Structure 1
């Protein structure tokens, strides 16, 4: 056995022997000083402990010190009753605290016992009991959290084992503290009983065996009894305070001094309020000003010093953050962040910065919010966040719009001008910088402020630069909306429907179609500018026909037919007939015969000359319709609609291709021409 282990065993046995073996007075003085020193050391260690488990021996130490203190009580009581003295330490405490007045000493002793028993000990006991209960209740959740982190790969097996051991040790510690606090409570009760025994026994022994009068016996034994009580209760009070500090530091991350400085002294403005209140008490109340004003001055000085330290700490934190950012850029892992591609980007030259700067009157950010709302209403999708940044590589007045990192549109603005577009006839008196409207490519001109009113009177459509950008951005988003809708975005839309229609979603996904299948159908609808806002109807149709076909092209045709009312209202004017270009029977037959069926789906197999001829004939009819001032629609049978759309997609993508099944029966149709071979 090592000497350290042997010394602990000898010490415990010595404490027990102290209760039955008389101890010399000189040795008793040394032991009493050691008792006070150990209690003070325990208090200081508890104050500087960051985690309760760092002082996990405290419950056992609490028991040992309580036993040691009771053994000293027995030894001092033996000497007091046997010899009428208990050493220099006890006599000094009794005479110094009492100051020659037994009543004062007795009251001080009772106050110490009451403070320890009712306030500190009772509170520590309650906190330890609640902490033990909550720790045990939280153990299953903490264990599951550790298992989840381990399964996710956030921690390894060794770290998981260490966390589990810490949880078990916390539960054991608070449970032990709950029991050990009962010893402190019992020690306070024992102190009161020992005080009464010493007083009564001392009076009897002093008068019967030491031939002293009642007053002499009362004075002698009261002083010694009070001194003995104070010598034992002061260390007990220190240890009880340490117990309270230990069990109440569950939510702390530092020692007591660090927490006091960082939490209580972190708001200098509050010290100014306290200083003002103390100064007001010294000036407007009978409290003397020479007492209150110096204290208020100290508080003001402390507040100034704290504010200075906080400012210096803020500068140091900013410097450290900058150094950390520089270090992260230098690290190999920093390249990973560059792989992220924004769904939509809007970049502009330095000359267009006032568009996005709210301090200069720019409202581009507000307009983008409205654009996202408009797209949600018209397209039925949630447009991703649009990244806005300036780009010094662009011309000062140039801007570009990017979709997934690729430039899809660009334009130029003149901030101090207005974009004017004629309604079909030009006014020679209106002059400006010739250009084209970026969203639709219409002829236009940039005019200055004095020309604006005259242009409006002449029938020109006059638009300010922010509206030009907003219109262009809106049209680009509509045109490329099918690229912005991925599986994750589709999942979000379906989850939104699931809240109100759980049976529909559960039947469709994943037993009938996957998220990817639904995304492909929605993308095909958006590609032809069909809104997917009525997602319930779309999912109902997919649930009906998804069991027969997994081909997204076929499923998209079924969905279009289910959305016939929506499509009809989209293209038919309420007070006029729908003007269409119909596909002749020869062309429909030619396309139907060219459809090839494979195990992966169907496709259109036309020879180049026939494809070119179809493009030529369709273009002729579309040109005639446009020249007459009409936006034409190509109308065909349901069986070949999607193949004709695929054939014309690259050259005539803005021309809607509808089938007869996608129109409501009550809509009036006016044919502008027929496409035939």
Structure 2
């Protein structure tokens, strides 16, 4: 506990002491100790910047840079006070001054000026520019990175916790580069202050030496130039270290290890560049007048290193390796043939040039994403998706994939090799092939992978090929979840519920409903976009309704009534659900027209009225979506199933809810009303 408390108070107390140093004179011995600590601290910061793997691993660097700069300026003020008052500022400054000035004052001043130019014009200016550009690019790329995280989350590649961690990392990266942009100004200001302080020490020391100390002009120049240069040097060494650390941090890109390891590994990884450089160094020896030994040594060292570097070996084609992995072995046994003729509930077929997506040796992770997708679908809608059989299909056109349901193709898309999908409205400046996003039909463009960063900076959402396929697959699974729910799946789900709620299952099946009847109810709920995760409440409601009737529509409505808040929740935005409703007189007319049939209850209206009503509903939905609203259609509970059958073929993506299901919703707002007159007028305008 004491160590933790000391850690919390260490930096605040240190900053207070730095401020005190600006006012209170320091003895020369204490100044020597603080100068040594300053140089050592600068070296520690530099080495820390070199050994971090990512810039965010040293996220406190901007604050460290400010504190170290303030500390160094406080030392400058203290040293200047001692130089001008006593003509002596400790052994460290005196020794550094003698070391640089030596026997020639002019040479010493020139060397000191060169150090200032190196720090100010080269390192500081470069680090400042890189920090500024890095901050701007990082902030501009934030929306694209956030949408890429959402795309990975929707495709099932990552879970909510990983998405939350990545979003926090994106925000931390933006904050870091923004802070570095400002902190680099401290380095620049520190370099300017060092020049001014050195000039003040030279001129002030010369004047004080002649007027107050009684020194001759030559002695005054010699004494105070030595102290001024020494003071400037002991402050510029740690300043130079901090400037280099700043440059290293802002130019550091993510790698597998620290900077030193990455540089050595990458520069010595290929034999050919080392051999060419070594022979070139030896060839320079042929130029007359040049010394031979230095170039022979450097060329020989490079050639020696090249003998330990690995040559680039031809590897097996990724497509060949993946085909071998994906394609099943031929088995002529009866069991093998029986397995071959079985129809897979869900299949994904890839053209030959898309096999790299499932080749793990070349970075393909499509199979892992599909596994993650199965977990995601199970968590969202409560259905255990059958394994997705992935195989190659040489009959598919190049760059094409096909999604099959019970061996029947239900969707097809493209995923060109070497491209990513950019989704957005501002894609005109990007080269590529225009297309439509396969799930929502948004404007998109397949662009070369190397333009990904440029597309993100322009505000587009960029999705890789595997994410496009898994997102498309997820949409197909959600749309056809009812068909994918088999009898065995229902039995398995029932057994799971029975372990925790045995009485609920024993009361329902087989006493009241057979497993097939329960399956039909669950399939209908899935077809209407309702999650069946809460099987306990579904089974309880079915048990109560099955005592009176086994009519499918009645059973479905009973289950929906138990799930009311959960059904409405996905359609609530900012505490509001936007609804399209029917005019009371028209709704009463539909109630009077309700008739039973073999397919369930139907609304029997004359064709023109039915067509006009459906058209009016479709138009109101389009108008609402154009305003950025996702509406639902509401009606009386007795009408809900029949209304859905009426409008489903024309507006299949419009949910149909009963009034009773809106109970508990924060606020209900009208997005339009369907009336008989408005419907007929719209129909007349369309036919005209």
Whichever of the two has the greater Rg, that structure is: 1
Q: State the TM-score, normalized to the length of structure 2.
A: 0.49
**TM-score with structure 1 setting the length:** 0.50
